[in-house]
């Protein structure tokens, strides 16, 4: 059976992609953020995942306000990116794990989630930037043969743009269903779960530039051992505490739901601001059910 080895959650600000392209990883402004990935790279080298299931939010490259699903699951053989207008180089195409995608889709529908099934799906900076941060050598490769991506992906899009948004509780339940699907998949795969976005930030309106360090720290503390406590926040309360774009924390809650074993935090990096955003990168370990029962 497939095994969920753990998770990584990180920010996906477009300016990060520009900093990578311009080689600014060691600039004083950027270094505190990029140093947070030293442990991520160590963990990935040690655990060697085969697949990354990625919870993210689309920013108009694949969906727009006229047609925006609450939840969408990619079931494509590969995922390509296009120019988004941020000055970010277009990402290399990323291979998909199609059979696992369909297994997840079937499980979600059986669990009463109405998902959009995407056999063609573009990926934007919310997915391509975390990929480049986690595997910089593969992201920088010009050709595919000499340095292929070390993982295949299953992208799962969550609406964080057009209200009404799904609740924290609903996204956590979505993750739980995805976790059960992975654990019931009859192929020997090492699966990591990724969440991208956040933490607190607001890009426009009267509160533009809003960052709430206290609420961010509360979320980072509670999500490991007390995720149910976070599901009690309504979407309006989440916007109030984390900003209109801080609702990307929905992706983190789905990721946490998918970690169905005994979860522990291995590393945390929190830095403000990165382009008006509270940037966080966290690595979580997921011990399987047998370990949880033995504890």
List residues with catalytic annotation.
125, 201
Q: Determine whether 227 is exposed, middle or buried from the number of CB atoms within 10 Å of its CB (0-12, 13-18, 19+).
A: buried
Angle, helices 249-258 vs 213-225, to 10°: value is: 10
Biggest CA-to-CA distance, the chain: 51
Contact between residue 152 and residue 96 where contact means Cβ atoms under 8 Å apart: yes
Distance between CA atoms of residues 195 and 216, nearest Å: 15
Distance between CA atoms of residues 111 and 88, nearest Å: 38
CB atoms < 10 A from the CB of 201, how many?
29
User: Which ranges of 95-187 does DSSP label H, i.e. alpha helix?
Assistant: 98-110, 125-134, 136-140, 168-183
Return the H-helix or E-strand segment holding 21. helix 14-21
Distance between CA atoms of residues 122 and 90, nearest Å: 11
Tokens standing for residue 29: 């402004």
Give the up-direction half-sphere exposure of residue 225: CA atoms within 13 A in the CB hemisphere: 4
């Amino acid at each position: 059976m497939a095994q969920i080895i753990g998770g990584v959650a990180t920010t996906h600000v477009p300016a990060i992609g520009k900093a990578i392209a311009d080689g600014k990883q060691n600039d004083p402004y950027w270094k505190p953020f990029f140093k947070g990935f030293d442990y991520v790279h160590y963990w990935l080298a040690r655990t060697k995942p085969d697949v990354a299931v990625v919870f993210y939010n689309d920013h108009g490259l694949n969906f727009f306000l006229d047609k925006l699903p609450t939840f969408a699951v990619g079931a494509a053989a590969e995922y390509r990116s296009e120019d988004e207008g941020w000055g970010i180089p277009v990402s290399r195409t990323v291979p998909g794990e199609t059979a696992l995608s369909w297994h997840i889709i079937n499980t979600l529908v059986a669990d009463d989630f109405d998902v959009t099934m995407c056999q063609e799906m573009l990926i934007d900076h919310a997915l391509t930037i975390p990929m480049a941060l986690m595997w910089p050598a593969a992201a920088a490769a010009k050709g595919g043969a000499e340095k292929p991506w070390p993982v295949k992906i299953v992208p799962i899009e969550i609406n964080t743009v057009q209200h009404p948004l799904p609740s924290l509780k609903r996204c956590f339940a979505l993750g739980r269903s995805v976790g059960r699907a992975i654990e019931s998949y009859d192929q020997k795969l090492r699966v990591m779960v990724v969440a991208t976005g956040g933490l607190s930030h607001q890009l426009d309106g009267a509160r533009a530039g809003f960052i709430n360090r206290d609420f961010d720290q509360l979320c980072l503390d509670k999500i490991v051992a007390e995720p149910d406590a976070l599901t009690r926040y309504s979407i309006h309360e989440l916007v109030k505490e984390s900003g209109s774009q801080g609702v990307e924390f929905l992706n983190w809650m789905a990721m946490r739901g998918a970690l169905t074993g005994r979860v522990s935090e291995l590393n945390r990096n929190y830095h403000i601001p990165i382009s008006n955003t509270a940037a966080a990168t966290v690595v979580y370990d997921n011990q399987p059910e047998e370990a949880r029962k033995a504890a």
